[in-house]
Structure 1
Amino acid sequence: MNATATATRHPEMLAKIAKGQGFIAALDQSGGSTPGALKAYGIGEDAFSNDDEMFRLVHEMRSRIITAPSFGNGKVIGAILFEKTMDGTASGKPVPELLWERGVVPFLKVDKGLADEADGVQLMKPNPDLEALLDRANAKGVFGTKMRSVIKLANPAGIAAAVAQQFDEAKRILAKGLMPIIEPEVSIKSPERDAADRLMLAEIVKQLDALPEGEKVMLKLTIPAEAGLFQPLVDHPKVLRVVALSGGFSRDEACVELAKNPGMIASFSRALLSDLRANQSDEEFDSTLGQAIDDIHAASVA
């Protein structure tokens, strides 16, 4: 099974992601980053005493986001979910089902976190149970996946290893008929960011060229230090879409930088959610979210 299987199973979703004028929301904070996400939302660690309570609170936050009127206005074309969010419900419906009813294509974060740094990169931890998770995602109508590793230095061996690992995992995902988003994030704090961008670009092109005909992947990348550097990836016949992470930039900074890179669209998390608070009224919440969506959409279609 390959990318053709994805198209056969989800033709409308495929068309929306390939050609849609919008961006992908990243709602996939997992265990390690969840307390920080809740704190930014105005919920401190004194509000929960165990992981179950923490995940219940973050699920309530995500449910509020995906059911807000502005989230279904057509400018958000996809959403990346954490596993527990995929398994949950909102407005009485399974989250992936509700998202697609709102015109938002569901993706699932599938990596198990980062290994310790070596050769200037953090690879993904081993994921022996990936196929079982992919089967569950397929059963729930999920279109694709996302997995993240981190590049901190312009180390050729480390970057080659990170990109190769991403594509090896992508082949497992393609075999299940799902669309993989490959995310080798170059840290914006790297003292060798531009050099790392260029090494990563060369390794990605090498891996793309080696993919069998008919297979496609998506890429989620840090906005390059040099505007337009990733145009060869945007134009590559084996890339469905190139999306950008905000990577620690503020929303204003991320939108300015993204707009310099035609063909890339946003897949922001903190830059999307940074102004949302638990104590906002529903009207304030939706207005704040709507402004963020408008800003990020404008940068994505610039």
Structure 2
Amino acid sequence: MSVFDEQKQKMATGQGFIAALDQSGGSTPKALKLYGVEEDEYNGEAEMYGEIHKMRTRIITAPDFTDAKVLGAILFERTMRAEIEGIPTAQYLWEKRGVVPFLKIDKGLADKADGVQLMKPMPGLEELLAEAKATFGIFGTKERSVIHEANEAGIKAVVAQQFEVGKTVVAAGLVPIIEPEVDINSPTKSEAEEMLKAAIKAELDALPEGDDVMLKLTIPSVDGLYDELADHPRVVRVVALSGGYSTDVACEKLAKQPKMIASFSRALAEGLSKKQSDDAFNGLLGSNIDKIYQASL
């Protein structure tokens, strides 16, 4: 079995969750602040990304960050290009941890229109995908847009764009994680989720055999709403984003979704601090990992 097939089987059937370690430009200062690194502790972009890489390295090398509970990890492009213990990050994840590496490829969100935010253009995408696969051994990608309200035209536009990008990813030999996030604070969240499900199903039904995708969705207001999508022959796995919920609330909501596993970012790193001793850091991270793992079973 090829490495790709082994990784795909792990993503389809493995027990555990995907760690989202892909904060980028806009969200990095916020992530660092939560980690106890103030903006006056680094100077310029290079030092900022240096600090976030130290944080990610500390998480990835922690004793509990293995495929016993963590199936995959989503990386920011700079993290993919960086190293852990002298080994490229994605290679380290797979070879040392048994964790499947993904790459965040979107360039952020466009301005809001029709109640949604589409993804900004992604110049050089084909080249990046080819390099990610051939040079770094990346298995899949993640691309995020946001739905703020139940606007059918907007939601169809989001899903159409997601699948268009997804087809480019599949053509490059990778598996896309399609992420049309529904804002957890939307006053029309449940209506938007019904529209989203219908739009995704229509796109999935049109995919040819072998063009397989993953879905990353907000935990729905109606329990089990996305079970039908999880059972679709073109879907490898449906994963849930925490969307701003605390770890405990996100895990409580996820536990009611029988066919979704977690792909949490903020909830994974909740309470971690640069100033903690290794024992304290590893203990708290291990606790977060276990909570998210249990909710994903």
Q: Same fold (TM over 0.5)?
A: yes
User: Which portions of structure 1, spanning 4 or more consecutive aligned residues, are displaced by more than 3 angstroms?
Assistant: none
1:74 to 68, 71, 87: 68
Measured in 1, the distance between the counterparts of 2:43 and 2:274 equals 18
Measured in 2, the distance between the counterparts of 1:158 and 1:196 equals 10
Counterpart of 1:244, as a letter, is A
SS in 2 for 1:206: helix
Measured in 1, the distance between the counterparts of 2:231 and 2:188 equals 26
1:231 to 227, 244, 252: 227
Pair 1:291 & 2:287 matched: yes
Deviation at 1:234, TM superposition (A): 1.0
Deviation at 1:136, TM superposition (A): 1.5
Counterpart of 2:214, as a letter, is M
Partner of 2:194: 198
Partner of 2:178: 182
Contact conserved, 1:67 with 1:91, CA < 8 A, in 2?
no
1:84 to 71, 78, 97: 78
2:127 to 126, 132, 135: 132
SS in 2 for 1:114: coil
- Mind listing any 5+ residue stretches in structure 2 that lack a counterpart? none
73-82 vs 198-207, which moves further: 73-82
SS in 2 for 1:215: coil
Aligned residues: 295
1:55 to 46, 49, 53: 49
SS in 1 for 2:154: helix
Counterpart of 2:123, as a letter, is P
Partner of 1:168: 164
Partner of 1:36: 30
SS in 2 for 1:72: coil
SS in 1 for 2:9: helix
1:103 to 95, 98, 123: 98
Measured in 1, the distance between the counterparts of 2:269 and 2:225 equals 28
Partner of 2:117: 122
Measured in 1, the distance between the counterparts of 2:251 and 2:199 equals 27
Contact conserved, 1:146 with 1:183, CA < 8 A, in 2?
yes
SS in 1 for 2:281: helix
Partner of 1:151: 147
199-208 vs 209-218, which moves further: 209-218
Deviation at 1:174, TM superposition (A): 0.3
Let me know the Cα RMSD of the aligned residues. 0.9
TM-score, normalised to structure 2's length? 0.98
Contact conserved, 1:221 with 1:244, CA < 8 A, in 2?
yes
TM-score, normalised to structure 1's length? 0.96
Counterpart of 1:87, as a letter, is R
Deviation at 1:73, TM superposition (A): 5.5
SS in 1 for 2:283: helix
Deviation at 1:128, TM superposition (A): 2.2
Identify if the C-alpha distance between structure 1 residues 10 and 73 changes in structure 2 by more than 3 Å, giving closer, same or farther.
Answer: closer
Measured in 2, the distance between the counterparts of 1:116 and 1:18 equals 34
Partner of 2:108: 113
SS in 2 for 1:18: helix
Contact conserved, 1:26 with 1:268, CA < 8 A, in 2?
yes
Measured in 1, the distance between the counterparts of 2:246 and 2:66 equals 24
SS in 1 for 2:65: helix
